[in-house]
Structure 1
Amino acid sequence: MQDQGAYKITPTDQSGLIVIVATLFMTWMVLVTLIRLYMRLTMNGPLGVDDLAAFIACVLGVTNVGTIMNSISHGLGRLPEGDFESQIESAEKALYAADLFFLAGHCVAKMSICLLLRRLGREKMYLLFCKALLVVLSLWGVASILVTALKCNLTRPWTLMHKVTCPGVDTRWKAITSFDVLTEAFLLALSVYLVWSVQMSNKRKAAVIFAFAARASVIIVIIIRQVYLNDAFDSDTLMLSISDSVVTTEIVLHYSIMTATVPCLKPFVIAFNTGWGQGIRRKGGYYAQSTGSAFQSSASRGQIESVAEDERVIMPSTDSELVIHETREWAIETESIKMQPMSREGNFI
């Protein structure tokens, strides 16, 4: 077994590269998920089903890295030689489990985005599209896991196989990747549809779309991953040649989970607040949102008077109205000066 501290990056040993990428992206992903939890609890809560899905994806992502590290310790990313040949089966089993955790985590991250989109909208047709996409994502996740788990040799499904030993193994991954890209496009289309009929500035619409479009870059990495997989399936040294696809797999998984949190950041919520009933935190406190009169408070005469202007944007809906608030506040100070009458000599009385 390889020494845990002997990870290298050489033409015949890519274990070091896999370790660096996997642990680095996992660390970023965990930090972003913790930020999401903090913001939901203190700023723009309450917690929803979309947050639960993101937290589950985080756990699956950490588990994926754990299995990858186990596989590396048994020879993943290196040419089998010497005593390492007896460790190949253990490496294959761990990589097999890592692939299943990858598909599950990536699918749940997608569902988190879709659940968040559903949480923001009210229009019936829009909600119907969200539910339909949730069903599609669920079916894609289950089908992808089954196709990956049940390979040609059902007695040893964890064995790495190329096109000769298992015809169609590359076709399976191509189908998974195709639907993966397609569902990403549907998520982006839903975000556009969300703000298409909302009466607000184009700048704010662009901010909403950009928050969800951050996932668009993951499509490029998904395609690159598939290219690396195609090359690996043509090789007879799969333990080494599959290294590039493992690296891109880790990037896809953790970036997918991280971008599921981007739309939850405070600037986005302020730009597109749908009145979840929790208010917005400002200057250390919360102010309630109202669909009726403007938020106003005033002090006694001679003190500071606060006036708020409430701008509302209405999204048409058959059941209710979706209200987006923008509140501006001014502080007006008044000062009273008492004048005394003057005598004819010009002195104050």
Structure 2
Amino acid sequence: MSANSTTVSSGVSPPLTTDNDHNHSGLVVVITAFNLCLVLFSVAARTFSSYHRNSLQRDDYTFGALVLAAICQIVIVFCQVHYGWGTPIGGIETTSKEQMLKTVYLADIFSILVLGLSKMTTCLFYEGLFSQMQRRLSFVILLVMIAWTILSAFLLGIRCSSSPWSEISATDCSGLLTRWDVITALDISTEIVLLLYAAFAIHKVRISTKKKIVVFCALESRILVIPVAAIRLHFIQAQLSSEDPTLSGSFATVSTETYIGLSVSCLLTAFLKSFVAVYEDDIGITYTYRGPWKSELKGTSQSNFRSRTAAPKETPSRNLPSRLRIEPGIKGWEREEDPIIELSEGIQGHQNMRTVHLSVRDEFIELPERSETTSI
């Protein structure tokens, strides 16, 4: 039996997809399915964090839009494999070929939308994380991310003819390769802008050097998407210059799915322990407790602790003196024991604040023994 034979034993169903020199649809399906698992895991992590926070941040809404766009893009990729993507173009039926080209066209548009929403979510997360930084700078960076998304979708959507979905190689549209070069160059540039903004913000925040290193390594994880973007461009160029773009284009699809999965995974840095303190609960207490607070909780019964923290409406900060109240605008890192950055109202500049940790503990009171008198 030859190596390329597809004959199987009686009673055994043939595989749904395969991966060989003449068919890469199986590779596309596996990588796309793995990308779907990453997206669903990210949704679960984000939902868990929002449930414990009892609140939604602005980046949660853009992340929700990102998840919807990513799921749509993944479904479209599965459809294009069903219609013949990843196989030689000569073996695709005419009726399926047009459907396949349309799904490839839509998958490219949705991939740009997912990557753009990933950049926007990161920008909004930085804005909430570094709340004392200049908001004008973060707003400008957000506009840059929106502009890249719109421009990239425009360059891919409008091509050389009235049927843009039929143009999947350089012979179909000569300017398509140049458009991909521009899109990737701007894509890498926006990622560098995000990295520089995070580094600048971390440098400005007044926390210990050890914390800065931990936060820097976590936030700068987006640097991994830059080489992936370059690899993706390489495979796209190979597809556009190939005589069989539907076969060689499978590697471009695999690199795109890898890029999307990595972009979504980088957003999970918000759920690391160093970043949980950024968010507030309803009673104005961060989720990270340190110092004597943890040690004194050991001597407090669990039921008493729950009774003091279960009612979100009774905010302890309202009953404290005005000097000890926790300002609602101050977030996670800015409430830790290190000096805090706070922007004074009506005064430009930074002001040093001191954090006061309050704790409640049970104490045993010994009563004097009473002598018992017996009457005769």
Q: TM over 0.5, yes or no?
A: yes
* 1:46 and 1:278 in contact (8 A); partners too: no
Give the match's secondary structure for 1:75: coil
* 1:236 is aligned to 2:243: yes
Q: Which of 59, 70, 79 is the matching residue for 1:61?
A: 70
Q: Aligned residue for 2:170?
A: 163
Say what the alpha-carbon RMSD is for the aligned residues. Answer: 3.3
In structure 2, give the amino acid aligned to 1:50: D
* 1:135 is aligned to 2:143: yes
Pair 1:169–1:83, CA change in 2 (3 A): closer
Q: Aligned residue for 2:195?
A: 188
Q: Aligned residue for 1:32?
A: 42
Q: Aligned residue for 1:260?
A: 267
Q: Aligned residue for 1:210?
A: 217
Q: Aligned residue for 2:22?
A: 12
Q: Which of 69, 72, 79 is the matching residue for 1:70?
A: 79
Q: Which of 254, 257, 281 is the matching residue for 1:247?
A: 254
Give the match's secondary structure for 1:315: strand
* 1:311 is aligned to 2:321: no
* Deviation string, structure 1 residues 159-193 (Cα, Å, up to 9, x no partner): 13322331121110111111111111111112122
* 1:116 is aligned to 2:122: no
Deviation at 1:67, TM superposition (A): 0.5
* 1:149 and 1:157 in contact (8 A); partners too: yes
* Deviation string, structure 1 residues 123-147 (Cα, Å, up to 9, x no partner): 46x3111100111111110110011
Pair 1:327–1:14, CA change in 2 (3 A): farther
CA distance in 1, matches of 2:192, 2:92: 46
CA distance in 2, matches of 1:277, 1:334: 28
* 1:151 is aligned to 2:159: yes
Pair 1:49–1:122, CA change in 2 (3 A): closer
* Deviation string, structure 1 residues 223-280 (Cα, Å, up to 9, x no partner): 110011111111010001111110010111122123223224444223x568996423
CA distance in 1, matches of 2:55, 2:252: 38
Deviation at 1:289, TM superposition (A): 8.9
Deviation at 1:54, TM superposition (A): 0.5
CA distance in 1, matches of 2:32, 2:354: 40
* 1:224 is aligned to 2:231: yes
Structure 1 unmatched ranges of 5 or more: 296-308, 339-349
* 1:274 and 1:324 in contact (8 A); partners too: no
Moved more, 258-267 or 225-234: 258-267
Deviation at 1:322, TM superposition (A): 8.7
In structure 2, give the amino acid aligned to 1:313: P
CA distance in 2, matches of 1:280, 1:4: 56
Deviation at 1:33, TM superposition (A): 1.8
Pair 1:64–1:215, CA change in 2 (3 A): same
* 1:88 is aligned to 2:114: no
Give the match's secondary structure for 2:22: coil
CA distance in 1, matches of 2:366, 2:193: 62
In structure 2, give the amino acid aligned to 1:144: S
Pair 1:322–1:194, CA change in 2 (3 A): farther
In structure 1, give the amino acid aligned to 2:140: A
Pair 1:149–1:294, CA change in 2 (3 A): closer
CA distance in 1, matches of 2:33, 2:279: 35
Pair 1:237–1:326, CA change in 2 (3 A): farther
Pair 1:10–1:130, CA change in 2 (3 A): same
Pair 1:15–1:310, CA change in 2 (3 A): closer
Pair 1:292–1:246, CA change in 2 (3 A): farther
* Bigger share in strand: 1
* 2:167 and 2:173 in contact (8 A); partners too: no
Pair 1:38–1:75, CA change in 2 (3 A): same
* 1:79 is aligned to 2:88: yes
Pair 1:130–1:337, CA change in 2 (3 A): same
Give the match's secondary structure for 1:260: helix
In structure 2, give the amino acid aligned to 1:176: I
Q: Aligned residue for 1:280?
A: 286
* Deviation string, structure 1 residues 201-225 (Cα, Å, up to 9, x no partner): 1111122222221211111111110
* Deviation string, structure 1 residues 292-346 (Cα, Å, up to 9, x no partner): 5499xxxxxxxxxxxxx972522153548697969697989889799xxxxxxxx
Give the match's secondary structure for 2:71: helix
* 1:52 is aligned to 2:52: no
Aligned length, in residue pairs: 320
Pair 1:328–1:78, CA change in 2 (3 A): farther
Give the match's secondary structure for 1:214: helix
